[in-house]
Copies of this chain bind each other. A is one copy, B any other.
Amino acid sequence: MTDAGQLHDKPLRVAIAGLGTVGTGVIRLLRENAALIEARAGVPIAITAVSARDRSRDRGVDISHIAWEDDMTAMAARDDVDVVVELVGGSDGPALVLARQALGRGKSFVTANKAMVAMHGMELAEAAEAGNAALKFEAAVAGGIPVVKGLREGAAANRIERIYGILNGTCNYILSAMESTGADFAETLQEAQALGYAEADPAFDIDGVDAAHKLAILAAIGFGSRIDFSAVACTGIAAVRAADIAQADVLGYVIRLIGMADMLDGEPGAVGEAKLLQRVRPCLVHKRHPLAHVTGPTNAVVAEGNFSGRLLFQGAGAGDGPTASAVVADLIDLARGDTYSPFSVPTRAMEAVPAADPGGRMGRTYLRFTVTDRPGVLAEIAAAMRDAGVSIESLNQPALSENAGGEALVALVTHEGEERSVTRALELLEGSDSLTGPPLVMPILKDRG
């Protein structure tokens, strides 16, 4: 009897670069679940070498019997290593050197490094193809959620029309905490930092860069387009105020930081070149939409396929356990013989798709102005909207909880229209001394299409 579950006899030999919480999590996982992993992978998965900055640090796992390399790039040259796992981080530097050397020697490479994959993923995928090796990065997107697999394989039969989701746990923790407490952004960020949900330097998360890395990777897999991280238009959550969340609530929405990638087939009504719209923005999400119920540091990704319809993948977006789960899933795939194209199609089939002009996007928009509290301001804003051809669906003056000091808020929701009209209206208002600060502009997430 041929056993389909046992393709190899020898263990899969793994080197791990980086022994922070994720690296030690991978070691713990491979030990704690060793028996079931061997049954599922068909072979044992053995750690044969490790590398990290400090050899002597107590990590709570015994690594005394594993070969140690002070120079992590040396692991790429070891004969007793089949796969290099990189958990060091950083888009360039040692992680990238290690990736190039491992793939260049025909060793498969598994990474949780979203920045590196977003910026150098095309080069690394080409190196993997050239070396007949695998490049895998499930842990780089949405932590423990198998969404790279879900897109690359589960939804592979579909033309993907749209990918969007909650891709940053820190922002989602902050926004949903603001929602439940009514507190403002700065205060909630401090709490998130105290609880370990936000870094001491939170810019990378709250400015949306981390979500943008993940989005660029997902877009490449879903659309077969070459990764184009530089084209992701990114707006963070720091400008969202408690009053915006309260106003959204009144309107039937919550606010979430959403990464959205849409493949647009030219201008409406015309047959044009396909263009890719990628952006990370705080958005209004209707309370009936599943993403509205994603709270805390959870991540969730929606992919809309032309046959599957809407698929949702949800789970822990970070943490050593979930990230280790994704890393080891990649290792099990490798042991089972998966060496298929990292981005679902061979790199030569991946097209460079030009970035779409977001001005052409049709949709509804939430706008919030901070204004001087005096008569005539509403009329000025309404006139700018009219002159730019923006149709107003509702206009409100939400109360400010804090001491307003002569400042007032104006929140409005537009009817469906081109985004460039909203931009034009804001240009008309630029320099007005009625406005005390830059307006906050948030798209209203469409349920579909």
Contacts and interface: CB of A to CB of B under 8 A. Distances in A.
B154 A29 contact: no
Given A157-B324, A312-B312, A307 B349 contact: no
A185 interface: no
Contact of A321 (B128, B309, B319, B341): B309
Nearest to A144: B308
Interface stretch (A36-44, A190-198, A380-388): A36-44
A290 interface: yes
B144 A311 contact: yes
B314 A129 contact: no
Interface stretch (A74-82, A145-153, A239-247): A145-153
Contact of A5 (B145, B310, B345): B345
Contact of A150 (B1, B154, B332): B154
A344 interface: yes
Nearest to A147: B154
A377 interface: no
A313 interface: yes
Contacts of A2: 129-130, 132
Contacts of A300: 312
A270 interface: no
Given A149-B154, A157-B328, A308-B322, A5 B341 contact: yes
Interface string A109-133: 0000000000000000000111011
Given A149-B149, A321-B307, A345-B5, A158 B33 contact: yes
A312 B146 CA distance: 10
B322 A316 contact: no
A433 B155 CA distance: 56
Contact of A3 (B138, B311, B322, B346): B346
A36 B224 contact: yes
Given A5-B345, A346-B5, A309 B322 contact: yes
Consensus secondary structure, chain A interface: mixed
Contacts of A345: 5, 36, 39-40
A333 B149 CA distance: 11
A68 interface: no
Interface string A297-332: 000100001111111111110010110111111011
Contacts of A305: 144, 325
Contact of A329 (B29, B153, B329): B153
A349 B40 CA distance: 9
B312 A315 contact: yes
Interface of A: 1-6, 25, 29, 32-33, 36-37, 39-42, 128-130, 132-134, 138, 144-146, 149-150, 153-159, 224, 290, 293-294, 300, 305-316, 319, 321-322, 324-329, 331-333, 336-341, 344-346, 348-349
16 contacts: A1-B129, A2-B130, A4-B132, A5-B349, A36-B224, A39-B349, A40-B344, A144-B308, A146-B311, A155-B325, A300-B312, A308-B315, A312-B312, A312-B314, A313-B314, A336-B340
